[in-house]
Amino acid sequence: METGRPAHEGGPVPRLDHPPGQAQPEGVIMKNSQVAKVFQDIADFLELKGEVPFKVRAYQKAARTIEHLPVEVEQLMAEGRLRQVPGVGDAIAKKITELLTTGRLEYYEKLRAEFPEGITTLLDIPGIGPKTALRLVSELGVRSVEDLEAALAGGKVASLYRLGDKTAENILRHLQSLRTKEQRIPLGVALPQVEDIISSLRERCEVHNLTPAGSLRRFKETVGDVDLMGTADNAQAVIDTFTGLAQVRQVLAKGSTKASIVTDRDLQVDLRVVEHDAFGSLLQYFTGSKQHNIALRERGRRRGLKLSEYGITDLKTGRLEKFAAEEDFYRRLGLPLIPPELREGEQELETAERGAIPTLVELGDIKGDLHVHTNWSDGRDSLETMVAAARALGYQYLAITEHSRGRGIAHGLDEGRLRQQMTEIRRLNESLDGFTVLSGIEVDIRADGSLDLPDEMLADLDVVIAAVHSALGQDEARMTRRLLAAIENRHVDIIAHPTARLLGEREPVAVDMEAVFRAAARTGTALEINAMPDRLDLKDSHVFRARELGVKLTLGSDAHAAEHLALMRYGVGTARRGWCEARHILNTLPVGQVLASLKGR
């Protein structure tokens, strides 16, 4: 079910220890995600009250915009720039100011008082819209997640009129998914925090080789606790600096070479500092994965060697060899260096032994972005601003792919506005040297598989992306037919974020991905690896299979602001985990070759 709630990049809204919109404990600062949740709750309450749709959409748009702002909304308020935020008029700006300055919002509290206790808790659960939440509260007395689980187990949810078994199963699936993800943090949330810590440490002390290890270094889509590795002549000084950083909320443990902290954003980070000559062994050991290291240890055992975080020990002589570089560690085992993204204990050792480890795609290989939004739809920045940002990244081209008219909440383009934008892009291209702006669209795939714009319109564009944004609860057979219909359309070049998942927020749609891959390979339709860190869709295993079957792949940032273009690195990491080389990704090609490779062009 598509509820229209903000995507909350990187995962669910952070939980407050008090109801949003009410007074906060002293010293607590409201983050953008928390402010956005207040306005999304207002939109849900207004929808339940039967308010006119445009008013509901105004608050929905404000929530989504605030959620994805590249700076804290509190900073914009202090600088008097709230009115510059798309979708924020006088009324909403006043409400934001009241919320941030007083810690409460009277309008929100009055609305909330009109509805039963517990409804906002249910609205936070993916798959539960405002009307369903109200029925669960008023008809079943559900007030908490625990109440909901009991109602599901007792068959009460399924017995509600017009809900049934299917809806109950979907809600239960979302609940179970949330439970398993609570202990892991999306990569897009963890990595910026870790990089901030690394930058702070490097500025304040003499530390070398400072590198994250574990699942973060392997670029997994979610991570647990983060391990940092480094070397120093004075380990104690580094540890003291680390535990005294401004980002530290709590010190869990501290020694002369190791420390463990919890950041002010609830991420546990462990730091280990070793001598320079042992760094390679340490980094390899803590990068993992567990399965990869088990396979390496078995390989070492067959050679009379014992592997550890300290190095490699010859079992006959008892001599310990230390390794300053990972390359030397792997070479001692008769293997080339295996990229961290491939260390999952699957086929990487056998492939390395054959000398067949691929040269994986790198961020520097990307020559353009094929999925970008501007302020013509739901983006923040202008065409010119997005182009300038893309050129600053060294790109050669940029595809402008606004939402189509069916995405009313995203201010999608109808044929008239799309043709106006095409004219504007042609004018802009005339002033550019060595850079090309491509006219495109992200056209909605409707529930019946038809597209939101006619073929005659799509035929005039440089790039046509098709995507599912609504009716996400369809069963596998219907959803698969829907995607296949778009793949078969001769004007569709790319299928964007094919499973429509949002990490920690929304489960992937039910779809036969093997059928999708085979149809895409047959028709020449490309599938997108969406680089938005709360999507990473296709996921790594899907990328691997699509590549095996010869499916064309593209990378798109899905940028809605100039700063988002830099998120491409998350897509590159996912492509690397899928064993992709540059030749597997269309937008590593120059613009002419990209256009020649797109199906409908």
Distance, CA of 443 to CA of 464 (rounded, Å): 7
- For residue 25, tell me if it sits in a domain: no
pLDDT value at position 11?
33
DSSP code, position 300: H
Q: Are residues 266 and 289 in the same domain?
A: no
What's the distance, Cα to Cα, between the start and end of the chain in Å?
34
Angle at which helix 90-102 crosses helix 53-67, to 10 degrees, equals: 50
Instruction: Determine, yes or no, domain membership for 11.
Output: no
Asked if residue 19 is part of any domain, the answer here is no
Structure tokens at 121: 């808790």
- The larger pLDDT score, comparing residue 456 to residue 601, is at 456
Please give the structure tokens belonging to residue 378.
């739901």
Output the domain CATH number for residue 292.
3.30.210.10
Model pLDDT, residue 292: 95
User: For residue 210, is it within any domain?
Assistant: yes
Indicate whether 130 belongs to any domain: yes
pLDDT band at 177 (very low <50, low <70, confident <90, very high): low
pLDDT at residue 530 greater than cutoff 70: yes
Pick the range with the lowest mean pLDDT from 33-47, 306-320, 425-439, 444-458: 33-47
* pLDDT at residue number 317: 95
Query: 35 Cβ partners below 8 Å, 6+ apart?
Result: 66, 73, 96, 99, 100
44: nearest Cα among 111, 113, 110, 92: 111
Q: Would the pLDDT of 200 be above 50?
A: yes
Provide the token pair at 347: 């086929």
**pLDDT band of 471, cuts 50, 70, 90:** very high
Full residue range of the structural domain in which residue 218 is found: 185-274
- Residue 130's pLDDT band, with cuts at 50, 70 and 90, is confident
* One domain, residues 481 and 517: yes
* 319 domain residue, yes or no: yes
* Measured distance CA(574)–CA(563) in Å, rounded: 20
Check whether 2 has a pLDDT greater than 70.
no
CATH of the domain at 111: 1.10.150.110
**Pair of tokens at residue 331:** 């070479």
Q: Is the pLDDT of residue 25 over 80?
A: no
244 and 385, same domain (yes or no):
no
Residues 339 and 367 in one domain: no
Inter-axis angle of helices 164-181 and 145-153, nearest 10: 130
On whether both 211 and 295 belong to a single domain, the answer is no
Point out the least confidently predicted range of 58-62, 182-186, 414-418, 429-433.
Answer: 182-186
pLDDT of amino acid 8: 35
pLDDT band at 202 (very low <50, low <70, confident <90, very high): very high
- Based on the fold, state whether residues 402 and 485 are members of the same structural domain: yes
pLDDT at 29: 57
**What is residue 14's DSSP assignment?**
P
Q: Is the pLDDT at 258 greater than 50, yes or no?
A: yes
Query: Which pairing describes strands 436-444 and 397-403: parallel, antiparallel, or unpaired?
Result: parallel
Give long-range contacts, CB 8 A cutoff, 24+ apart: 428-437. 428/383, 428/384, 428/387, 432/387, 434/396, 435/387, 435/390, 435/391, 435/395, 435/396, 435/397, 435/398, 436/396, 436/397, 436/398, 436/591, 437/383, 437/387, 437/397, 437/398, 437/399, 437/400
153 and 212 fall within a common domain: no
Is residue 342 reached through a cis peptide bond, with omega within 30 degrees of 0 on the bond before it?
A: no
CA atoms of 74 and 104, how far apart (whole Å): 14
pLDDT tier for residue 9 given thresholds of 50, 70 and 90? very low
Does the pLDDT of residue 188 top 80, yes or no?
Answer: yes
Contact 165, 158 (CB under 8 A): yes
HEC string of 389-424 equals HHHHCCCCEEEEEEEECCCHHHCCECHHHHHHHHHH
- 301-334 per-residue burial string, b: 16 or more CB within 10 A, e: under 16: eeeebebeeebbbeeeeeeeebbbbbebbbebbe
Q: Which residue has the tokens 């390989």?
A: 299
**Lowest mean pLDDT across 17-21, 219-223, 518-522:** 17-21
User: What does the alpha-carbon distance between residue 16 and residue 27 come to, in Å, rounded to a whole number?
Assistant: 13
Output the CA torsion 40→41→44→48 (10° steps).
Answer: -160
What domain count does the chain have? 4
Indicate if the pLDDT at residue 478 is higher than 60.
yes
Backbone angles phi, psi at 313, to 5 degrees: -105, 130
- pLDDT tens-digit series, residues 341-360: 999 988 999 999 999 999 99
CB atoms within 10 A of CB 337: 15
d(CA 510, CA 85): 36
- Mean pLDDT for the stretch of residues 578-596: 97
Query: Do 583 and 494 sit in the same domain of this protein?
Result: yes
Q: What is the mean pLDDT of residues 385-403?
A: 98
Residues 6+ positions from 511 with CB-CB distance below 8 Å = 476, 479, 480, 483, 498, 499
Choice between 7 and 243, residue whose per-residue pLDDT is larger: 243
- Within 10 angstroms of residue 68's Cβ, the number of other Cβ atoms is 23
Helix (H/G/I), strand (E/B), else coil: 194: helix
Which pLDDT does position 601 carry in this prediction? Answer: 65
In a domain, 141, yes or no: yes
Instruction: Among 256, 274, 292, give the residue marking a domain's end.
Output: 274
Average pLDDT over residues 127-146: 83
Per-residue pLDDT tens over the stretch 556-582: 999 999 999 999 999 999 999 999 999
Quick one: DSSP state of residue 601?
Answer: -
For the chain, percent of residues with pLDDT exceeding 70 = 92
CATH of the domain at 478: 3.20.20.140
In this prediction, residue 469 has a pLDDT band, given cuts at 50, 70 and 90, of very high
pLDDT, mean over the chain: 89
On whether the CB atoms of residues 393 and 567 are closer than 8 A, the answer is no
Does 12 have pLDDT greater than 70?
no
Return the pLDDT at 7. 38
* pLDDT, average across residues 452-476: 95
Domain boundary pick from 353, 374, 395: 353
pLDDT digit string, tens, across residues 437-446? 999 999 999 9
State which amino acid sits at residue 374.
Answer: T
The pLDDT value recorded for residue 408 is: 61
Q: Is the pLDDT of residue 72 over 90?
A: no
- Residue 1, in any domain of the structure: no
Residues comprising the chain, all counted:
601
State which of 252, 274, 296 marks the end of a domain. 274
Place of tokens 């963890």: 190
Regarding whether 227 and 257 lie in a shared domain, the answer is yes
For residue 237, give the CATH number of its domain. 3.30.460.10
Q: Is 354 exposed, middle or buried (0-12, 13-18, 19+ CB in 10 A)?
A: exposed
Q: Which of 55-59, 304-308, 428-432 has the lowest mean pLDDT?
A: 55-59
Judgement on whether residues 201 and 324 belong to the same structural domain of the protein: no
The structure's pTM equals: 0.74
Q: Tell me, yes or no, whether 345 and 386 share the same domain.
A: no
Indicate whether 61 and 168 sit together in one domain: yes
